[in-house]
Structure 1
Amino acid sequence: MTARELDAAGITDPALRADYRFCRALNARHGRTYFLATRLLPVARRPAVHALYGFARWADDIVDSLDPGFRPAERVAALSALHTRLERGLRAGREEEPVAPAGRRTAHGEGPVVRALADTARRYGIEHAHFADFMASMRADLVVTDYPSYADLRGYVHGSAAVIGLQMLPVLGTVVPRAEAAPHAAALGVAFQLSNFLRDVGEDLDRGRVYLPADLLAAHGVHRPLLRWSRDTGRADRRITAALREFEALTRGVYREAAPGLAMLDPVARPCIRAAYVLYGGILDAVADAGYPVLHRRVVVPRRRRAVVAADGAARVAAARLRARPRAVPLTRRHGEVA
């Protein structure tokens, strides 16, 4: 994280600056789309977004690691230790005393993400309940392997995705009462995650999970063994394609729920979220254009498309800052004065 960002955010403590830098590195390494959009935010707000992402990524890595040596019991212990550390940090506005490591994922890196998150929550007054809901969904990932219906899935993504949008809202700022923008922010978080679910069907299946609702799959004659067969053989099936197409349409509906919220954000923050909206929506386009091969390979948004969106976002940032700049008030000429 650049010193300029930390200085602009008023983060002066050397240890805390290092914590935020650690979170920024996580974002840059793992969240390419998210990180690109974050670059369009005012510099003072970027550290907070990196802290929110860094913590979420750390917890997600505990439950999603494909390391066969990271046993289920260790994951449960690691997530529990992280939650305990988080609660203590939030109560104090920073991390208090260290918690004994529980599992290989807690010994290095957990302290920085917790301290940066706790500091961000304090600075922006983010509701602690959002973090509790997030951790509940992370715990669900350790025991729940599929969802009978979309209603069941929405219960999970409230904690794993909707609350991320709600955590972000105080950082972004709004031009309407925050409660008015909140449903759209939550919907946008869900839309982003549903896009990832569609892209990552094969990878999630390797982790033993199917996020596409079982009733949606069944309506097209799809079940887990068929998905496994397609994954293992590399062969497509029209029933699977039809189910994926329906899930894509469902996800686009959530994007439509989120869209009105863009205009409710602080103008200088809109280009960032608009860029994320376009880029994550682009995942759906890329999957559809490629013929829904998500059980066989990871589909990505083309670099050229990412570059175009970034350039458009930069232009919007410049325009928003120009509009926000205070205008000089001309001096009133005295009677008889020559201009």
Structure 2
Amino acid sequence: MISFELDAAGISEPRLRDAYRRCRGLNATHGRTFYLATRLLAPAQRPPIHALYGFARWADDIVDLPGGQPFTPAERLELLAQRLFDGIDNSADEDPIVAAVSDTVARFDIDRALFQDFLASMRMDLTVTDYPDRAALDRYMRGSAEVIGLQVLPVLGTVGPTENAAPYAAALGKAFQLTNFLRDIAEDLDRGRVYLPADELAAFGVDRDRLQWCRDHRQIDTRVRSALAAQHAIARDWYRTARAGIELLHPVSRPCVTTAAMLYAEILDRIEATEFAVFSQRATVGRARRAAVAGPALARALWARRGGRAGTLTTAMPS
């Protein structure tokens, strides 16, 4: 299957084919819900999406999994940034992930500023542990969430000007990330971080110490539940905003994005169903449910690929 996808994407150079295979493996191993959604894309679209995921995963691991002596995480992140932009400028790098993402940037003319913003947010993770208000969190989420949606947009394609779809792609990235923040609040506390605005938590009488108490005792109190419910409602609003833009995507891409949005939103359903018991259990969507959502979407995806839906792709996909 992977050889078929690489052939469809016009990736013939052996070194690059191996690089894209590496990225696909990372996606399959670490991003199960997202990887399932990518199976609904046209074969030619999958390798570049895997490359973008692979790069984001690599940077995230540098921040979240310190190691690699004698270099510090900050030094490793700077080296990654240097290699990325050298790869983009020179179309060559020995590292397979950098090689694949550099090739993807060139093929789809992805704005390098999106990677600069992404890396800026990754640097914040090395020093920033709290966000005083929504504006501060939004600055972080610009690079860690919004730009991810904007990076993949040229690969997904649109039926009109790309800039019309951009706000919706950014909103979906934010919805995904706030979902992760709510689901992973205990894990983030273990890393010393709180990714929710302190002033909005304080409105419910919640601070870091109260969150840590919940983590230590693996339970939630009324104040924290109310504070998290307010963030939950914000995530729902972002999903509603993002869904309004799915029709702006090329028809072949809509089943993938719709499925990803549905499955991630169902994580919110699981959190709500457990009364926000995020300090004692991790909300997940089971394999059977993922398959139930993806099955009908696959039929729609195949129909779109065969010309069942009209539309002019404004950003050319590799043939």
Distance in structure 1 (CA, Å) of the matches to 2:176 and 2:70: 27
Distance in structure 2 (CA, Å) of the matches to 1:142 and 1:63: 6
Compute the displacement of 1:72 (Å): 11
2:101 is the alignment partner of 1:123: no
2:293 is the alignment partner of 1:295: no
Structure 1, unmatched stretches of 5+, are 99-110, 327-339
2:53 is the alignment partner of 1:53: yes
Compute the displacement of 1:71 (Å): 7.7
Compute the displacement of 1:93 (Å): 3.0
Q: Which residue of 2 aligns with 1:94?
A: 92
Q: 2:251 touches 2:309 (CA, 8 Å); kept in 1?
A: no
Name which structure has the greater RCO, CA cutoff 8 Å, separation 6+.
2
Structure 2 letter corresponding to 1:75: P
Q: Which residue of 1 aligns with 2:317?
A: none
Q: 2:219 touches 2:277 (CA, 8 Å); kept in 1?
A: no
Equivalent of 2:81, from 80, 83, 101? 83
Q: Which residue of 2 aligns with 1:28?
A: 28
Q: Which residue of 1 aligns with 2:98?
A: 114
- Change in 2 beyond 3 A, CA 1:71/1:156: farther
Compute the displacement of 1:302 (Å): 2.5
Compute the displacement of 1:318 (Å): 2.3
2:219 is the alignment partner of 1:231: no
Alignment of 1:176-191 (within 5 A): 176-191=160-175
Based on CA coordinates, which of the two structures has the bigger radius of gyration? Answer: 1
Q: 1:173 touches 1:269 (CA, 8 Å); kept in 2?
A: yes
Structure 2 letter corresponding to 1:51: A
Distance in structure 2 (CA, Å) of the matches to 1:59 and 1:89: 16
Taking only aligned residues, the RMSD between alpha carbons, in angstroms, comes to 1.6
SS in 2 for 1:323: coil
Structure 2, unmatched stretches of 5+, are 311-319
Q: Which residue of 2 aligns with 1:11?
A: 11
Structure 1 letter corresponding to 2:257: I
Structure 1 letter corresponding to 2:142: H
2:133 is the alignment partner of 1:149: yes
Q: 2:243 touches 2:258 (CA, 8 Å); kept in 1?
A: no
Query: If the length of structure 1 is used for normalisation, what is the TM-score?
Result: 0.88
Q: Which residue of 1 aligns with 2:268?
A: 284
Q: 1:165 touches 1:185 (CA, 8 Å); kept in 2?
A: yes
Compute the displacement of 1:235 (Å): 2.4
Compute the displacement of 1:297 (Å): 2.0
Compute the displacement of 1:325 (Å): 8.5
Distance in structure 2 (CA, Å) of the matches to 1:89 and 1:324: 39
Q: Which residue of 1 aligns with 2:72?
A: 74
Distance in structure 2 (CA, Å) of the matches to 1:72 and 1:182: 40
SS in 1 for 2:28: helix
Residue identity over aligned pairs, in percent, reads 55
- Change in 2 beyond 3 A, CA 1:224/1:274: same
Query: If the length of structure 2 is used for normalisation, what is the TM-score?
Result: 0.94
